[in-house]
Structures are given as structure tokens and as C-alpha cells.
Amino acid sequence: MQTINITFPDGSKKTVKSGITGIEIASDISQSLMREALAIEVNGEVWDLSRKIEKDASVKILKWTDKSGKEAFWHSSAHLMAEAIESIFPGAKFGVGPAIDEGFYYDVDLGDHTLSPQDLQVIESKMYELAKNDAPYIREEKSWNEAVEYFRKKGDPYKLELLEELRGQIITFYHSGNFTDLCSGPHVPSTGRLKAIKLLSVAGAYWRGNEKNKMLQRIYGISFPTKKELDEYIFRLEEAKKRDHRKLGKELDLFVFHDVAPGAPFWLPKGMIIFRELEKFLREELDRNGYQEINTPILVKKDLWEQSGHWSYYRENMFIFDMEDTTYSLKPMNCPESTYVYKHKIRSYKDLPLRYSEIGRLHRNEISGALGGMFRVRQITMDDAHIYCRPDQILDEINSLIGLVNKIYAVFGLKPSYNLSTKPDGAMGDPNLWEDAEKSLKYALECNNIPYTLKQKEGAFYGPKIDIQIEDTLGREWQIATIQLDFVMLPERFNLEYITEDGQRKRPVAIHRAIFGSFERFMGIITEHFAGAFPLWLSPVQIVVLPITDKQKEYSYHVYETLKKAGIRVEVDDRNEKINYKIREWETKKIPYMLIIGEKEKTDNSVSVRQHKIGDSGVQKLDEFVLKIVKEIKDKSLPPIEEKKL
């Protein structure tokens, strides 16, 4: 019997028979692992548990808690949905059906039939019925000609088009129940693993994202190993709807959208207060960290983008027009223009590092179907910085950036997690510089006691990077911050140099970094994170003064003026309405503090304090309350945040 050696994630090794499968490996470890196993990672590639391993390999059994395990689970769910659709709508034609960040979808062509919510319920019920059959997912290799013949007989033009790009390759089919699909896999062992399923919505989607192609119907769904997890997800989904920034932005008079300017918000006065506070906060932190703010043109000639390389691969996402026989564009990014600031004079090794920050207005030609509130816009206010440094300064700069990122996110109660992406195939630049840079990034993360996920070969072609995700109160993760090393794109393409101590000319290293990323997207995230109840320092109206009757009006305005002079954003509601009515109304506006003014407060020069979501906080002397509030604003204290992660 031939044997092979397998290595587990903890470094332990085991000699096993050649041809062993993932499910056998899991079973040998424990029956509980076998029940939980969804797929297996073999030398970095994710396989079905039923595939035979015939060579020495590093392996990892993948469960629901692993990202790749979830992807296999959701990909399998997409196939189950396709089988249900085909059984209900014979002759249905299928585009693609991948796993996505949360769940799965399949693009389908049902001819003239438009799917209704009732159709989704029928499809979902059929999926549950089919899942009970516990049909295995079976992988089968086909020749290209065999695959073409199968889908030609089936009359599926979308699969035939995909096959045209796979000429000369071994093609893989997956069978489950009565459904067969062109698919590279992997999949879970059988449909019985898919215990809890919910179809969420249907939307139009052009085939292959091209507006010139036919519009298909894209069905989105989610699935979980248990009903409890599905129930928790649906709860979070409902909570997210209540927190939708588009809804809250309108209700709280922060921002609105209009068809006259797709993909660009109209900032209302209260929204602009938050925007300005974010800018002010960021600028103060950058000033403390030695940044110099620059501002570069929005309108530039295409020559810039040809030199940077963006013209060849990013042109479709740019707003371009001709003027006086010259082609211009609105800038979609700030990076290349910072090089002109760097190059305006000769730089010495003593000048470095140079830290340039820019809050720049960008424009990206996103297709209309991709636009989504503040999360995907065409007009972007970008928090950018470009640091030019010597190779020996990389570690110190990365350390400083990590500290800055953590400090800023902590102010919002956002929890960061870190990914380190290393040298990809086809990378440019000195291999030794790559190696040193990756070591610097790893060392910086480890020095700061930061756990991270290693993303092998996922760096940019011009340098390794750290991607930083944040988790909000709903447990959702958002990719915002980036720390990107760049040896090639800016330094090489723009011929950047500095004079070394011994008089030689050398290339600096560029570090691209964003913290908020897009101000618009960050605003959308924190609006939902705080459910519109912003911290005191950010709140457009920080305090509202509520006199109980007209007799307290004069004192209420004295309170107003006192707070105003202390730099506090305050309003007075002196309408002739019952006090309880006014309290309820201002509570819905999510104002941090209400000050109730009655005769006792007027006589004692005090205020009766109500805090949003907390209620009555007792009576305080006016001067003491002002000092407390000023300190709370200065400290950027967080309000009580109600987490909904379950």
C-alpha cells in the first residue's frame, strides 16, 4: 500500500494511505469533526471532502467557522436553489451562481416570467424538500467537447459562452439530485447539510455585468447549518433595516439623494456639521502625527493616468471629456498627483519621511445599478495620505500608522481586525525589498500584539499591504482602512528620488494609507453603527432646552446662551405643547441631552437632565452641567451602544 504524509495546521504530521479523502481524515480525528466538516484545504486549495489526496500535502479540515467553509456551504446552496428552480420552471437557463460575502445568488433566465415574492417562497419550500433527500454533490471531470455537447443539448447559451473561455482545459461538472452544473467547486458532502435556508430578494442583473447583454433575474439567498443561526441572521437583518442610513439620513435631516445627481448625496446642514466634525477630528490627529496637508487638482490631463498606468485598466471608471483638443478626466484617486508635490524640489534623505495628507474630492463612473446610498457613490470625499520614506523607515512608519488607526477607530467604538497580504505572482520590484517590507509589516503587527490573517499572494503588484476591517454593533465587517507599501507605481513610474547621505540617488518607498476611506461610506457606516444616536461630540444638536410653560421661557434662553457661549450646539423648544409630547418628539430625533426647565430649576439656577435612551438623570446646577458636557465633548465619550449581534 502506497502512503503519503499529511501535515496539519499545528505542524503535526501523519502517514496515511495514498488516496485518502478529506472525510476519512476528519473521521479519523473524531466523529464530531466529521459531522462538522464541510470541505478540506489541500496545499492552500479548497477541495471537496470526497476528493482523493494522492501526494504529500498540508491539510486543514474546514468547518462553518472557516471563511472557506462558509463559501463551500453557500456555493452548494446556490446549486440546490438552481435544482429547485429547474424543477419548478423547466427550461430555465442559468448564468452564474457563486457564494458571496453573506450568502449566495444565482442569475437565471426564465424567459418572459418575472419572479414574484410568492415564487421565492415556492422555490424556498422546494429547496427544503430537496435538501431532505441528502443527495451527494458529485464531482466529474469532462473533456471540453463533452461539456459543450451537454449544454448544447440542454440549450443553455450562458454556460456555452463560459465554456468558450475554457477551451483546452479539463472541465468539471457537479451533480446533485437531478441538477448538473458547470462548476469548479468545491461543495459540501451532500444537500442534507443545508438545514436552514432563506431566499431574500430578486433583482435584475445584466449577464456578465455588461449593460449591452440581456437582463437576467438574480435571486439572493442565505443559508446556515442550524435554524437558530438563521433566526439570528434574520433578526440582524431586520435591525439593519431600522438602521438603514438612507432612512435615518432623511429622518434626521442629515443627507438626501435625488435623481438629478445619481450617486452623490445632498448634504443637509445637520449632516454637514457631522462631516465637518469628522474632518476636524481627523486633521487634529494628523497634525499631531506630523502630516502636512496638500490639495491637488480635480481636473487633470489623461497624460497623468497614462504615466501611472490607470488609463489602461481603470479608464471605464473615469469621467472623461475633451476640451481644446486635449483629453481630461476628473480624478478617481489622489495617488499620482502627490508625486508632483514631492518632486517640486530635490529631496534629501534628511527630508524623509514626508507625510502628505489630502482630503480630496474624487469622481468614479460607477454603473447606476451598483450605486447604493452612501456605500457606493460616484462623488467621493477621500481621506488619503501618501508617506514617502526610506526603506529603513518603513517599520517606524507602519508602527505609527497602526497606532493612529487603532486610536481613531476606538473613538467610534469600532473593532478593527487585520489582514496581511503578501507578494503576488508577477509582482514588480526588488525581491529583497519585498522580503524586507513583508518582514516589517509582520513585525509591526506583532510588536503591537495585533493578531492578523495572512493572505498569501494577495498583495498589489507594487507592494505588500495591510487591510483593516472594522466590526459594527450588528457584527458586520467593513473594509475601510488600508496601509499599502509601494515600490513601483509611484516611485518608479514618476521617477521619484532622494539624495542619500553619500550623495547617491535612490528611490523612496511610498506608503498609501486611508483611515476613514470615503467620508460618504464612513458616514453611512457610523449612522447605522450608532442607529442615528451619534456621540455627543458628533451630534448636530447636542442639547435641547424644554421649558414646561411660558413662565420658564426667559430662564430657558439664559440656559441656551450659557451653553452656546461654551461652544455647545443647542436649541430651545418653546412651543406651546405639553412637555411629555415634546420629550417624546425629541427622543425620536435622538438628541443626546434634553434639559427640562420648570419653576424649581428656574429658582435654583439648575437643569433637570434627560439623556437619550437612559431617561431622567436628575437635577444638576447649570454651571456644573456645562463643565460636565464640555468635558464629555472634549473626551469624545461614547454613548451607551446597544449591540444587536446576539
Domain boundary among 42, 63, 84: 63
HSE of 179, CA atoms in CB hemisphere, 13 A: 30
Please report the pLDDT score of residue 646 as a whole number: 42
Q: Which residues contact 506 (CB under 8 A, 6 or more apart)?
A: 390, 497, 498, 500
Q: What is the mean pLDDT of residues 465-491?
A: 87
The reply to whether 75 and 218 lie within a common domain is yes
Q: Is 397:353 a contact under the CB 8 Å cutoff?
A: yes
230 domain residue, yes or no: yes
Judge residue 316's burial from the number of C-beta atoms within 10 Å of its C-beta, 0-12 exposed, 13-18 middle, 19 or more buried: exposed
Q: Which residues pair with 419 in a beta bridge?
A: 453, 467
> 81-90, 458-467, 598-607: which range is least confident on average?
458-467
The reply to whether 76 and 58 lie within a common domain is no
Q: What are the tens digits of pLDDT across the range 403-417?
A: 999 999 999 999 899
The reply to whether 79 and 208 lie within a common domain is yes
Q: At residue 494, what are phi and psi to the nearest 5 degrees?
A: -105, 10
306 domain residue, yes or no: no
Based on the structure, what is the number of domains in the chain?
4
Q: What are the tens digits of pLDDT across the range 1-32?
A: 798 999 998 889 999 999 999 999 999 999 99
Tell me the three-class secondary structure of 96-107, residue by residue. CCCEECCEEEEE
Please give the helix or strand (H or E) that residue 250 lies within, else none. helix 245-251
The reply to whether 58 and 74 lie within a common domain is no
The reply to whether 223 and 337 lie within a common domain is no
Please tell me whether the peptide bond between 336 and the residue prior to it is cis, using omega within 30 degrees of 0. no
327 domain residue, yes or no: no
641 domain residue, yes or no: no
Q: What is the mean pLDDT of residues 551-564?
A: 96
Q: What are the tens digits of pLDDT across the range 352-368?
A: 999 999 998 999 998 77
CB pairs under 8 A, 24+ apart, for 148-154? 150/180, 151/182
Q: What are the tens digits of pLDDT across the range 250-305?
A: 999 999 999 899 999 999 999 999 999 999 999 999 999 999 999 999 999 999 99
pTM above 0.85, yes or no: no
The reply to whether 415 and 437 lie within a common domain is yes
Q: In this predicted model, which residue has the larger pLDDT, 168 or 264?
A: 264
Domain boundary among 11, 38, 63: 63
We report the CATH number of the domain holding residue 623 as 3.40.50.800
The reply to whether 518 and 547 lie within a common domain is no
Question: d(Cα 342, Cα 172) in Å, to the nearest integer?
Answer: 52
Domain boundary among 497, 529, 561: 529
The reply to whether 128 and 105 lie within a common domain is yes
The reply to whether 514 and 369 lie within a common domain is yes
C-alpha dihedral (257, 260, 262, 267), degrees to nearest 10: -40
15 domain residue, yes or no: yes
We report the CATH number of the domain holding residue 447 as 3.30.930.10
The reply to whether 460 and 513 lie within a common domain is yes
Neighbours of 38 (CB within 10 A): 28
Q: What is the mean pLDDT of residues 146-170?
A: 92
Inform me whether the pLDDT recorded for 379 exceeds 90: yes
We report the CATH number of the domain holding residue 29 as 3.10.20.30
Q: Which residue is associated with the grid cell 451537454?
A: 150
Q: At residue 523, what are phi and psi to the nearest 5 degrees?
A: -60, -40
Cell of 532: 442615528
Check the CA dihedral 394-398-401-407 and report its sign. negative
Inform me whether the pLDDT recorded for 484 exceeds 70: yes
We report the CATH number of the domain holding residue 231 as 3.30.980.10
607 domain residue, yes or no: yes
The amino acid occupying position 103 is G
Distances (CA, A) of 450 to 332, 416, 453, 466, 479: 32, 10, 10, 12, 17
514 domain residue, yes or no: yes
Cell of 401: 500608522
Biggest alpha carbon–alpha carbon distance for the chain: 98
The reply to whether 562 and 578 lie within a common domain is yes
> 44-48, 429-433, 474-478, 519-523: which range is least confident on average?
429-433
Mean of pLDDT over the chain: 92
Domain ranges, residue 444 = 255-296+333-529
Q: Is 135:190 a contact under the CB 8 Å cutoff?
A: yes
Please report the pLDDT score of residue 488 as a whole number: 78
Check the CA dihedral 324-326-332-335 and report its sign. negative
50 domain residue, yes or no: yes
The reply to whether 467 and 499 lie within a common domain is yes
